[in-house]
Amino acid sequence: MKIDQTQPAQTQPAQTQPDPSLRHSDNSVPLDAIIIGAGFSGMYQLYCLRERLGMRARVLEAGHGVGGTWFWNRYPGARCDSESHSYMYYFSKDLIDEWEWSERYPQQPEILRYLNHVADRFHLRDDIQLDTRVQSARFDAHQQLWVVTTQQGAVFTARFLITAVGCLSSANIPNMPGLDSFGGNWFHTGQWPHEGVDFSGQRVGVIGTGSTGIQAIPVIAEQAAHLTVFQRTANYSIPARNAPLTPEFKQYAKQNSDEIRYTMNSNTNAHPFRIADRRAAQTEEADRQSIYEAAWKKGGLQFRATFDDLLLDEAANATAANFIREKILATVADPVKAEILSTIDHPFAAKRPPIDSFYFETYNRTNVDLIDLRATPIERITERGVQTSAGEVELDILVFATGFDAMTGSLLKIQIEGKNGRTLQEEWRAGPRTYLGLQTPGFPNLFTITGPGSPSVLCNLPPAIEQHVNWITDCIDHLRRENLNLIEANEDAANDWVEEVNAAANATLLAKVKHSWYLGANVPGKPQVFMPYAGGFARYIDICNRVTANHYEGFTRSR
């Protein structure tokens, strides 16, 4: 099927100038829309509603600044795994031309500077209310309005409610017995103190070896007197080969922004590269090795794109997995550590594959120990440190790099009550059930940007966000033009979509990993349902476009 990706996923309505007199803070007058969260999604959604549709919208943001995940995740080594020229908005040519990234993979402070620049450049702060945590939202069917209450007790009403709360924003802090008794300081990477943490001269423990732990461990090891890494599941990681961007590359990225955007919107993961059209299983061993070797040298998530059967065929995947295992064994000098790090229980990239800067090399430092929690589990946290079945590790600082209650965590922290008085928590008791990740039946005029059931975390997120926001904006514009007040996903459409999401995951190796956060398995008690849509970003865009073209098939629109 042909997909036109030279433009945003949806046709953009003509730009209309907002009426400045409409921007006021009188809570008694219903707004057109309330947006929860001022990260990549919330800011772009505000821009679209205000600048394209001339609507009155307000963003409510819990943090003291804009930036969403990049406001909170300030741990040492925090940087993006997407390449900088793809981890940005593409909706404004001027913005593309004027912003300059410094590195292949930008660090957290640089991304936060970018998002602040966007907020200033488009005067978004006028309609963003910081330090405002939304506690509940209730749909008033009589008035056809969402009634939103903040933790401070302020009440807002709006026709549309749009959640832009992020997929990886609700910290997963394991309930470890004894944590209260710990005499040192402990931190979760996603709630890092703004003043930073001084590790010098300290005995530090890091629990977790996902993307975050793998970024933080080398940086902490350089500062700390001693670092102990507590690993539950060994992980693959590809060298990032981060470096400053050359003037030539910066120029290339600006001059070819249309093509880069087209590539991102017409492939599986919304990255600015394509998955090679060849199979590992059908490639000669020597050729395969040299392809892997070249990708290893180049670094980054492109390694995953070397062959198109890596996530479909276990034997093909094993060739990549074995290559990486050999690299770990060749890098880590201590054979015990090397064995713990390279005994990996899942296919490559079936969990989110990290990329790193000298992660495995860090285990060659004399001040770094590694504990295999599969062999010697944590029993409790003590006053002095961490007690495993093999003994106590004394620590001054403990870092939880233990991830997030992904995709649904932040949404379900808000008490969201739909038209029948049922809450999202009740509706999603057996797992999230959405239509296209955009809407849930029973919750009219509620949109979830990159919600469960959309490609979201399987993608480079900014393009996925732009596509969702464009779709939502066009949908709202359509309702307005047609003089309609409400849109709601149909039960059948949501049920069919859940099946489609499951089928897409089951067609890949992603669904084979039973302990991944894609399934919610990292949070005790969370229903285990594969949450993101794994059918590919381009295919998803095409489905969304078809739904629009077929008069919002699967949705009910009404006055």
Give whichever of 85 and 351 is closer to ligand NA7, judged by the CB atom: 351
What is the spatial distance between Cα 192 and Cα 195, in angstroms, rounded to a whole number? 9
Q: Residues touching ligand NA7: how many (CB under 6 A)?
A: 21
Q: Does 163 bind ligand NA7 (CB under 6 A)?
A: no
Nearer to ligand NA7, 208 or 554 (CB): 208
The closest alpha carbon to 138, from 153, 157, 151, belongs to 157
Q: 108: which 2 tokens?
A: 């957290």
The tokens for 259 are 């093509």
Token readout for 552 is 């919002």
Asked if residue 107 binds ligand NA7 (CB under 6 A), the reply is no
Residue 52 binding ligand NA7, by CB under 6 A: no
The residue whose two tokens read 């229980």 is 345
Q: Is 332 in the site for ligand NA7 (CB under 6 A)?
A: no
**What minimum distance in Å lies between the beta carbon of 455 and ligand NA7?**
13
Residue 303 is given by DSSP the state G
Q: How far is the CB of 346 from ligand NA7 (least distance, A)?
A: 9
Interaction between residue 138 and ligand NA7 (CB under 6 A) = no
Q: Count CB-CB contacts under 10 A for residue 118.
A: 21
> What residues from 443 to 462 belong to the interface with ligand NA7 (CB under 6 A)?
457
Task: By CB under 6 A, tell whether 402 contacts ligand NA7.
Answer: yes
- 522 is a contact residue toward ligand NA7 (CB under 6 A): yes
- Residue 68 as a binder of ligand NA7 (CB under 6 A): the answer is no
Q: Is 211 in the site for ligand NA7 (CB under 6 A)?
A: yes
Nearer to ligand NA7, 332 or 350 (CB): 350
Instruction: Find the DSSP H helices in 184-256.
Output: 211-223, 247-255
How far apart, in whole angstroms, are the C-alpha atoms of residue 347 and residue 324? 11
Which of 403, 401, 406 minimizes the C-alpha distance to 166?
A: 406
If one counts every other C-beta atom within 10 angstroms of the C-beta of residue 550, the result is: 9
Q: Contact between 209 and ligand NA7 (CB under 6 A)?
A: yes
How many other C-beta atoms can be found within 10 angstroms of the C-beta atom of residue 257?
A: 16
Under the binding rule (CB under 6 A), the answer on residue 168 touching ligand NA7 is yes
> How distant, in Å, are the alpha carbons of 135, 165, 169, 393, 499 from that of 413?
8, 10, 11, 34, 26
Minimum CB distance to ligand NA7 smaller for 258 or for 379: 379
- Of 517, 533, 537, 552, the residue at the interface with ligand NA7 (CB under 6 A) is 517
- Asked if residue 213 binds ligand NA7 (CB under 6 A), the reply is yes
Contact with ligand NA7 (CB under 6 A): which of 401, 416, 459, 504?
Answer: 401
Site membership for ligand NA7, residue 352 (CB under 6 A): yes
Residue 279 CB, shortest distance to ligand NA7, in Å, is: 27
Burial class (CB in 10 A: 0-12, 13-18, 19+), 421: exposed
Helix (H) or strand (E) holding 31: strand 31-36
- Report the residue number, 418 or 437, with the smaller CB distance to ligand NA7: 437
Residues in contact with ligand NA7 by CB under 6 A are: 168, 174, 207-213, 232-233, 352, 373, 401-404, 457, 515, 517, 522
